Every structure is written in C-alpha cells, then in structure tokens.
Amino acid sequence: MHVNFKWEPEKKEEGRKGLVFNIQRFSVNDGPGIRSIVFLNGCPLRCKWCCNPESQELRAIVMFKAQNCVGCGNCEVVCPTGASDLSIPGKIDHSKCIACGKCVDVCYHRALEMSGKWTTVDELIKELYKDTISYRRSGGGITISGGEAMVQHEFLEELLQACKGLGWTTAIETTGYASKEVLDKIVPLIDYFMMDIKHIDKDVHKAWTGVSNELILKNAFHIAEICQQIGSQYIIRVPIIPGFNSDPEVVRGIAKFASSLPGVKDLHLLPYHDLGSNKYAMMGKDYELFGVQTPEADYMEYLKEIVEYEGLNCKIGG
C-alpha cells in the first residue's frame, strides 16, 4: 500500500460534503493510541438513553441554552421562517427551522448555538491533520462515531480512504444497523471495529431503541467474517442501561451471542450515564430516563465476571 505521510489539500472542485456535529481531540478511550473522534450526524435508532440526541437527524440543529437567554427577541426578528418563537418550550420550532443560523448570529448572549456543520473531506482532513504527530507516535488515528456514521456512507468511505492514505489507523463506533452493501465497502477500511449489541430480545430492543435487533445481529456475523479476513480487531460493546439490559441474564445472553461470533474475544461494558440529558431540554424535548442512576461499580464488576465466564475478555468502559 502506498502511504503518504504528508497531506496536501488537493486542488480540485469542492467534493462531497458530510454533516459533522463534533470533533473530540486527544481521546484515549475510543481505540488504540491517541485519537480524534469525528461525530457524524444521522441515526436510524432512537435509543432512550442517547447522549447525543442532536445527532439523530441528518440536519444541523439550533440548540437553546435557557440559562443564557435574556428575552431580547433579536432571534425572532431575524428568523425568516417563524421557527424562532420565544413562546414555545425550547424556543425553536424544529419543524420550521431551516438552520440558516441567522438567530445564532444575533444572539449576543450565547443562548443559541448551531450543532452540525456540512464539511468536505478535505476540510475535515485539514483539521485532523493538526494532530497527525500524536497519531503517528501513539499508534492512534481517527475514530468515527455518531449518530450512526454509516448513514452517511459515501462521505464516510471517502474520509476513511483519506485517513488510510495518510497512514492513520481507523476505528468506528457503530450500531451495526446498515445494509450489507454498505458494510461490504466500509468494514474493510476499519482497523478497530466497535459495535454495540444492546439486547438479544427483538421486542425489548425495539421498545427501547425504535428498531428490532434482527438486522444488527445478522450483521454482527457478517462483520466478524470480514474482520477475520482482513485481520481487524472486532469489539462488542454493551451499554448497561438499568431497566433495559442490566439484568444478569440479559448480559449473559449478549455475552453468549458475542462469544459465538467468529474471532470475537473482547466485550466492553459501558455503564449508563446521563451526561447528555441536558441536551434534550436544549432541543425542547423530554429526557425519558430522568432519575435513572449509573450502575454501581460493584455491580459492573459482577456483570464483568458473567461476561468472562462466557470466555471473553471484558473491560468496563471505553
């Protein structure tokens, strides 16, 4: 493989754009080495515990911070669609908003901010390239997260190819909810594949995430086969959500399933947290899991033993 260690922006017409809602730099929890995490918009799931609700739609979204608002009304005056409306909860009617950003520009109290920016692969690589020395020295690289990044599979493919061309390692955090055609082009570009299995029961899965798990479980095998063929690491991750899947027998069932996947040796348990709950209010939405507690450390250790009993290496967190 030809590897360039110096990136030069290509002199070409502006390429395909993808919607990115965050870049988190210097992460050490989302794959090997020091990594930048690129968060892409769009997701077919609606998990009740989602900590990035602003990512779910494939569109930029205005977030409202009530504590900063002084009620000056500037935002209402400039809004071309009537979406900015101080009389409604959350202050933005997202069904009318076209994400023009005019309200954000005139909000001098920083009560409004735009989440999500359409960007080209070149623009994104230019930003990520600032940390290329850290990636190279630590064996790190880029982790793609979301949302469900495979919603924007054409942009994702271009981005991964560019990362590979620079010699950066690639990782993904995914729901595994994608077509076989998309998996066949994306999985071979990933060095470190992290996929959620949230529940084994399809009806419970659907009640808490909005979709059945049948496609996800089927894809889990297909991804395992590709990862084995190309020598990529494949890790199953289980967010532990009290009331949904924290029961020992549910975790045992997921661990049994994971251990049946060809080549899978690692399962990570991710304890529930409510760090994204404030974003729901910023979008004028209710957070359904309000009051749910993070599982105790001792309980997570107990679940870890259950996973290990099924023959897998288990880690709590990242």
Question: Which residues in this chain contact ligand SF4 in the complex, by CB under 6 A?
Answer: 62, 69-75, 78-81, 83-84, 86, 92, 97-103, 106-107, 109, 111-112
The sign of the dihedral angle between the CA atoms of 243, 47, 172, 116 is: negative
Taking the least distance from each CB to ligand SF4, the nearer of 98 and 207 is 98
Question: From the CB of 84, what's the least distance to ligand SF4, in Å?
Answer: 4
Taking the least distance from each CB to ligand SF4, the nearer of 106 and 281 is 106
Question: From the CB of 194, what's the least distance to ligand SF4, in Å?
Answer: 34
Question: From the CB of 10, what's the least distance to ligand SF4, in Å?
Answer: 32
Taking the least distance from each CB to ligand SF4, the nearer of 80 and 89 is 80
Taking the least distance from each CB to ligand SF4, the nearer of 75 and 250 is 75
Question: From the CB of 69, what's the least distance to ligand SF4, in Å?
Answer: 3
Taking the least distance from each CB to ligand SF4, the nearer of 111 and 186 is 111
Taking the least distance from each CB to ligand SF4, the nearer of 40 and 103 is 103
Taking the least distance from each CB to ligand SF4, the nearer of 28 and 70 is 70
The answer to whether the beta carbons of residues 42 and 146 sit under 8 Å apart is yes
The answer to whether the beta carbons of residues 227 and 207 sit under 8 Å apart is no
Question: From the CB of 107, what's the least distance to ligand SF4, in Å?
Answer: 3
SS3 string, the chain, reads: CCCCCCCCCCCCCCCCEEEEEEEEEEECCCCCCCEEEEEECCCCCCCCCCCCHHHCCCCCEEEECHHHCCCCCHHHHHCCCCCECCCCCCCECCCCCCCCCHHHHHCCCCCEEEECEEEEHHHHHHHHHHHHHHHHHHCCEEEEECCCHHHHHHHHHHHHHHHHHCCCEEEEEECCCCCHHHHHHHHHHCCEEEEECCCCCHHHHHHHHCCCCHHHHHHHHHHHHHHHHHCCEEEEEEEECCCCCCCHHHHHHHHHHHHCCCCCCEEEEEECCCCCHHHHHHCCCCCCCCCCCCCCHHHHHHHHHHHHHCCCEEEECC
Question: From the CB of 280, what's the least distance to ligand SF4, in Å?
Answer: 18
Question: From the CB of 56, what's the least distance to ligand SF4, in Å?
Answer: 17
